[in-house]
Structure 1
């Protein structure tokens, strides 16, 4: 199955993995230790992130070091940013409406 960045970030565990690895390169075991799910479940999430190109692995001896490839997250960031701007103006508009209602009732 072909996977993309949006499938990767759709799952909260995978988003947490990306957050954890954004600033640190960790071994697979170190990543697994940060979650209350089984090691095979974490490995499955890491595999999906790898298939999407978000993670890569570097082998050092018997360990596999996980690294985030931030450039693969750019399309998702741009898409989210576009909708964030649209929703922000709607939220601001709604907030102004609520504030007007509050002032009328005071």
Structure 2
């Protein structure tokens, strides 16, 4: 699982020019089962996407398809994590591993 934090590096007017294409990109990624959650930051300085991907390389390929990336209006910070607990209804995203089997360092 990956948390992708987008930070806008352009004026919002430039970002807004890409919004329709970005929403179509989000819809595509949701339909492929790669995105779990997404939304704007408050204040509106970027966004956050929770991605269900098998590797960092897959994440990078998906990010490169984002119209925000192509237009150079956002920078991306990626954090990988292993979800071991979840709210009811989200159990499919938790790893089937024992918590004590994962080294803490």
Select the structure with the greater relative contact order (CA < 8 A; seq sep ≥ 6).
2
Pick the structure with more helix per residue.
1
Pick the structure with more strand per residue.
2
TM-score of the alignment, normalized to the shorter chain, above 0.5: no
TM-score, length of structure 1 as denominator length: 0.29
Structure whose alpha-carbon radius of gyration is higher: 1
TM-score, length of structure 2 as denominator length: 0.29
